[in-house]
Structure 1
Amino acid sequence: MSGLVNALAIAAVVVLVVVRQFRAQQIGAGRRWWLLPVILAVVALREPGIVDAHHRTESVVLLGAELLIGLATGAGWAWTTRIWVEPDGTVWSKSTKASVTVWVVGIALRVGLFALGVALGVHQDSSALLVALAATLLVRSGTLVWRAQSVAPTSGGGTAYGDPVVRPARKERV
């Protein structure tokens, strides 16, 4: 896949994610929350230019820093997302203003890494950014699912017939 196609894929995923993050979304543990990050990582890792052959050490260090920034951005984004439980037991999430700050800081750090790579003469392919984006989405989604499981109401012991509905007890009159 060419660099232009990678750049368009990155832009499309970022726009999709940013638009969706500020709408309330139901979190379901049964969803395949890991699928999009895995697809992005596979697409990125198929490209041979992820590491510059002429500056291998510098390129690997920049890639590692990119991944660390991606992981930190995903974690920060997940922990600044508001999570709540509806009366029907469904868990919902919505990003906050702090999430915007996490994104802005993450993007600024990535721009700084790219500038450092240019100053060092390292050829940087869009595959590194795609892998970091995959790491961001994977950590964010995994953390949100984990957080959702910790706030979701557990189904307590129902009646003998398995009815999970809690009925109010009748008051006894004396």
Structure 2
Amino acid sequence: MPGLVNALVIVAVATLVIVRQCRARAIDSDRRWWLMPVVLAAAALREPGMVDAHHRWASVLLLTVELLIGLATGAGWAWTSRVWREPDGVVWSRSSKASVAVWILGVALRAGLFGLGVLLGVHQDSSALLLALAGTLLVRSAILAWRAQSLPSATGPAAAYGDAMPRPAWKERV
């Protein structure tokens, strides 16, 4: 039953996070952005079946690669998200189409890794996926918080659309 509960938690958290990130959201770098990933990691680590006792080294290798894919997905997701500061000083973020591509690539790599584990006969528990999801969210949140803090402050007038466009040269009429 814990495997089913972990699977449901993974689906619920992934759905919630993806749906929330497709809309623009204010980033509050002072809040506890690390709390949900830590709770997910604690839930994953409390399960005893993360490493297959019969294929210990292959299981640890698959788990390590799973974690690396999760960390890379989180970093890619954070760096492809758009981050901006409004004139009132609030920092916002929104995932882009490239962020969706990062998610699809991460899911495809994880599916391939699961398939490799099946071919090797390694038992893979859902807690490994839950731990990788926690790593993904932790890295993404940390990078977004850092990006939000590194944005320039909105003290001057806000840039308007077209401000960076070159202006046409003055033409005289004869």
TM-score range, shorter chain: 0.7 to 0.9
2:81 pairs with 1:81? yes
SS of equivalent to 1:50: coil
Q: Distance in 2 between matches of 1:4 and 1:152?
A: 46
Q: What does residue 147 of structure 1 align with?
A: 147
Q: Distance in 2 between matches of 1:141 and 1:85?
A: 17
Q: What does residue 133 of structure 1 align with?
A: 133
Q: What does residue 43 of structure 2 align with?
A: 43
Equivalent residue runs for 1:7-156 within 5 Å? 7-153=7-153
Q: Which amino acid aligns with 2:49?
A: G
Q: Which amino acid aligns with 2:83?
A: I
Q: Which amino acid aligns with 2:47?
A: E
Give the number of equivalent residue pairs: 156
Q: Which amino acid aligns with 2:66?
A: E
Q: Distance in 2 between matches of 1:123 and 1:40?
A: 21
Q: TM-score, normalised by structure 1?
A: 0.87
The 8 Å contact of residues 83 and 94 in structure 2, kept in 1 or not, is answered as yes
The 8 Å contact of residues 41 and 134 in structure 2, kept in 1 or not, is answered as yes
Q: Which runs of 5 or more structure 2 residues have no equivalent in the other structure?
A: 156-174
Q: Distance in 1 between matches of 2:121 and 2:83?
A: 44
When the two chains are superposed, the root-mean-square deviation of aligned CA atoms in Å is 1.4
Moved over 2 A (4+): none
Q: Distance in 2 between matches of 1:29 and 1:129?
A: 27
Cα deviations by residue, 1:81-123 (Å, 9 ceiling, x for unpaired): 0001000011000000000000000000000000000000000
Q: Which runs of 5 or more structure 1 residues have no equivalent in the other structure?
A: 156-174
Q: Distance in 1 between matches of 2:83 and 2:97?
A: 14
Q: TM-score, normalised by structure 2?
A: 0.87
Q: Distance in 2 between matches of 1:123 and 1:135?
A: 21
SS of equivalent to 1:20: helix
SS of equivalent to 1:31: coil
The 8 Å contact of residues 90 and 152 in structure 1, kept in 2 or not, is answered as no
Alignment identity in percent?
71
Q: Distance in 2 between matches of 1:34 and 1:152?
A: 24
Q: Distance in 1 between matches of 2:154 and 2:88?
A: 12
Cα deviations by residue, 1:120-155 (Å, 9 ceiling, x for unpaired): 000000000000000000000000000000004188
The 8 Å contact of residues 88 and 154 in structure 2, kept in 1 or not, is answered as no
Cα deviations by residue, 1:30-73 (Å, 9 ceiling, x for unpaired): 11100000000000000000000000000000000000000000
The 8 Å contact of residues 85 and 154 in structure 2, kept in 1 or not, is answered as no
